[in-house]
Amino acid sequence: MEKTQANTRINELRDILNDASRRYYVENMPTMSDYEFDMLLKELEALEAQYPELVTPDSPTQKVGSDLAATKPAKRKVAEPRKEFEQYPHRYPMLSLGNTYDITEVQAFADRAAKGIPAEETALVPFSFSCELKFDGTAICLTYKNGRLTRALTRGDGTIGDDVTENVKHIANIPQTLKGSDWPEEFEIRGEIYMPWSAFDRLNQERERDEEQPFANPRNAASGSLKLIDSKMVANRGLECTLYHMLGEDLPFSTHDQALNKAAEWGLPVSDKRRICSTISEIEEFIKYWDAERKTLPFATDGIVIKVNQMQYQEELGYTAKFPRWAVAYKFKAEQALTRLNSIDYQVGRTGAVTPVANLEPVLLSGTVVKRASLHNADQMELLDIHVGDYVYVEKGGEIIPKITGVELSQRPADAELPHFPETCPDCGAVLVRDEQEAKAFCPNQSGCPTQIKGKLVHFLSRKAMNVIAGDATIEQLYNKGLVWNPADFYELEKEHLLGLEGWKDRAAERFLKSLEDSKNTPFERVLFALGIRHVGETTAKSMARHFKNIDAMSTASREDLLAVDDIGEVIADSVLAYFADGVNTDTIERLKAAGLRFEVEKEAEQLSDTLKGMTIVISGNFSISRDQMKALIAAHGGKNSGSISGKTTFLLAGEKAGPEKLKKAESLGVRIITEKEFLEEILHEIPDQVGNDDPDTSLRGASATWQSEDFKETLF
């Protein structure tokens, strides 16, 4: 390839890889498989090797994939929100691994490593490799001081990472205090946060039931869960951790294996599925064994990591800009099967979304029989050029969610039929609509489509919503008998209604009615989630409840008011407006109010002062306390939080890495910009007295520690 052509292709590859990396690491919504990404990266590496003068420092071949958002993430349609975490530098760079799908390249790696160490050294200290399972999760770096966990950082961009310490403390198998007493005074240990299959399956079932986008694989689920806005929610996600690399000054170990064995003695979660190998044949045997046995594991693994075992050799071999020279990853290829597409069903969900589902000739894939696979939407069907009767390739995304990846055109039968996405609802016959911003088609008949109605009733009573003891069969019975049509009908049921249904006895009726009565104590944010407003998931409902405090303020909010809420973008705002504009919905809410359900936040934050009364404040960047706490602090002193800068803004409170656009707009409008220190000392100078500190000259660090105390959090929340 000529240099001009190579330069064009290099720029194209960089754009594709940078976009794929952002979607993988930041948005947790990958657009291509690991194999596709790696092949494109290898193509880029080859072109840059041919024309080294075209290599740039920001090329994907020269930098680690980053989980840090370069700017504040765009508002998303379905909220599974991130918060802006504080960021800290890594003491030691946190790099990626070079990877391969070819055993001959593993041999080449082993030969390079051996040649990099003088023969006289290897004669004294034999050369060996530690072979370990490669867990498919998200990287984590834990710091322990004096036997206690002090900080947990994500990989970030390899140089700095997000501080997720509070979230990590809710992962059950990560100890906050080590066993024994022979640990170094301070050390780091790195590993992977992952989600077992059982937790992943449960989470995606919940998301699909709530018609939220399911996670593509356990890695994305683990990464998204690690950065949840509410630390306590992390505990419910079933995350686990495995640790595989220790760093520190003067560690008392000669080999990597010794370090991991000692870490296990201290109570740290270290994988026992590793082996010390001396030859390439032993490494290959280990790879072949786990390529077959991985299907029996309770978690996802996508390969084997081969590391030089001797720590002195690791140090001598060193690093490239992106990879350690003493380690490499052998990646397993995704298992694929070819089977016949027999038919396509079109399913209606509770929000009216119509999803095409492929019915397949049963085929064995990754240890289970696959019969059905989602085709997602009409665009995906068109992209695949899929026909009924085709032979299609099926993979398991993350080896659990079946997906159709292609069509074997050479086996297309002459009578294969091109499917046509329905124009009307397969349940009620209403003409389908499609939003310009979305790929899915929807049935607009929310109040008359039986499938939507029953789906919303099931959602209303579900565990994360009103938590009423009832299953799908109960809803089906009540709906078919005309007893329940919308959620308010549940609270008008009487025992006689239930006893008139087939199979109901006194005890079952009493339990169901008591469960309904108990549900009246459900907090406002869960009642809001239970209403089933399209795009308003569990976390968005919580943010809205905290912001508006009650349903009346929410129902009269303008579009601008809704957009001022964290994690709400235009799509969600429009959905909320449409919900409250429907008289059927507002009537249901009034009936639920009359039944005794809670439609306001019970405990308002205590008003500490009116120092900020009449002020409109915009915050941007990272602070010594979380953004939610900072907003609560402003509200507690009478101020109003706003998400955008205007001529009415009193000042912009700018933390570290404040948004450049907000800074620029504030300057252009003449809005004062103040730092957190100035905010504390000049405006909230009374804070130290109010939080139990008699020194009015308290430093920002001291005040921050006080703000983060449990007593003060209770005052605000």
From the candidates 63, 134, 403, 542, give the one annotated as an active-site residue. 134
Residues 6 or more apart in contact with residue 634 via CB below 8 angstroms: 612, 617, 619, 640, 641, 653
Give pLDDT, residue 590.
Answer: 96
User: Is the pTM value of this prediction over 0.85?
Assistant: no
- For the ranges 15-19, 439-443, 497-501, the maximum mean pLDDT occurs at 497-501
Query: Token pair for residue 28?
Result: 């947790």
Residues of the chain with CATH 1.10.287.610: 3-54
More confident residue, 646 or 80: 646
Q: How confident is the model at residue 264 (pLDDT cuts 50, 70, 90)?
A: very high
pLDDT digits (tens, 9 = 90+) for 658-682: 887 788 888 888 889 999 888 888 7
When the pLDDT of each residue in the chain is averaged and rounded to a whole number, the result is 84
* Domain spanning 336-434: CATH 2.40.50.140: yes
State the sign of the Cα–Cα–Cα–Cα dihedral 366, 369, 374, 380. Answer: positive
Give pLDDT, residue 211.
Answer: 58
Rounded Cα distance, 74 and 104, in Å: 43
Burial class (CB in 10 A: 0-12, 13-18, 19+), 650: middle
More confident residue, 73 or 93: 93
Q: How confident is the model at residue 577 (pLDDT cuts 50, 70, 90)?
A: very high
pLDDT of 390 above 90: yes
8 Å CB contact between 142 and 168: yes
Q: Which CATH architecture has domain 95-331?
A: 2-Layer Sandwich (3.30)
Q: Hey, what CATH topology would domain 450-595 get?
A: DNA polymerase; domain 1 (1.10.150)
pLDDT of 366 above 60: yes
Which ranges of 28-184 would DSSP assign to H, the alpha helix?
34-50, 103-115, 119-124, 165-168
* Domain spanning 616-716: CATH 3.40.50.300: no
CATH of domain 3-54: 1.10.287.610
| Annotation says 134 is catalytic | yes
pLDDT of 715 above 60: no
Q: How confident is the model at residue 210 (pLDDT cuts 50, 70, 90)?
A: low
Rounded Cα distance, 486 and 84, in Å: 38
Residues of the chain with CATH 1.10.150.20: 450-595
Residues of the chain with CATH 3.40.50.10190: 616-716
Rounded Cα distance, 64 and 59, in Å: 10
Q: How confident is the model at residue 688 (pLDDT cuts 50, 70, 90)?
A: very low
Closest CA to 216 of 374, 83, 331: 374
Mean pLDDT, range 685-711, rounded to an integer: 39
Q: How confident is the model at residue 479 (pLDDT cuts 50, 70, 90)?
A: very high
Phi and psi at 188, nearest 5°, equal: -110, 145
Rounded Cα distance, 497 and 479, in Å: 12
**211-to-81, 416, 435 alpha-carbon distances in Å:** 16, 31, 16
